[in-house]
Amino acid sequence: MDLGLQGRVIAVTGAASGFGKAIVEFLSAQGADLHVADRDVSGLARLTATYPSIRATTVDLADRSAAARWIAAVESATGGSIGVLVNNAGGSLGQVAQDPVEVSDADWDAILAINLTAVFALCRAVIPGMRKAGGGRIINIGSRASQHASLAGVQAYTAAKHAIAGLTRQLAADLGPSGITVNCVAPALVRTNPQRDAQWDRYGEAGQQAMLNRIALRRLGTADDIAHAVGFLASDLASYVTGVILPVDGGVS
């Protein structure tokens, strides 16, 4: 299906693997003009080897100044505004569940820096260009943990993803008069990396089956499922959709 994204300037963070890679692959097939960022140098190299038209930048988005400079560089390279910003970078950074009293300041701060503060910094940087252009799309990647306790049990991750839901709703209200839509895609558990594989394995056969039984479609989601939702929200088909937290979870919500 042609979503009308041919030539549209789209910036995607956390593009080297997982959801980000699937989003880039799907949007590339739609003909988008893709500009991507990640701190994974080798992952970006593999991505651009497969998709040489993509412009990739290695950047630590937890550095707010670096995040803003990347947005400015994309606008400079394209000679205009960014049409769609996909805030995908984030995750639990390899942290595992622990008693709240054992959580260090450094671990808490690291997760909020990339999952929340970086998202705001990128939105703040992209808004002036979108306003000048008369509109745009911001798509945040949240989680089922945006509205529930996280299955992984990492408190900072759950707090950040809940905050992303609130930020999405607030920015949608703030930016609607400028023609900018702001939405959030909220996946459930998807096996996109070794950490999620290990989480799945810890449930054991009985636990895995119990989880699948709570999902209406009786299967885990895939990264492609998330990419397809992002493609819809990026397209003109979603021109009247804003402030939405879209669960992409097979009916477990």
- Characterise 153 by phi-psi region: left (phi > 0), alpha (psi -120 to 50), beta (else): left
CB atoms within 10 A of CB 17: 18
Return the closest-CA partner of residue 11 out of 67, 74, 76: 74
Report the 3 state secondary structure along 96-149: CCCCHHHCCHHHHHHHHHHHHHHHHHHHHHHHHHHHHHCCEEEEEECCHHHCCC
Contact 140, 181 (CB under 8 A): no
Helix (H, G, I), strand (E, B), or coil: what is residue 2? coil
The neighbouring-strand residues paired with 135 are none
Q: Which residues are catalytic?
A: 157
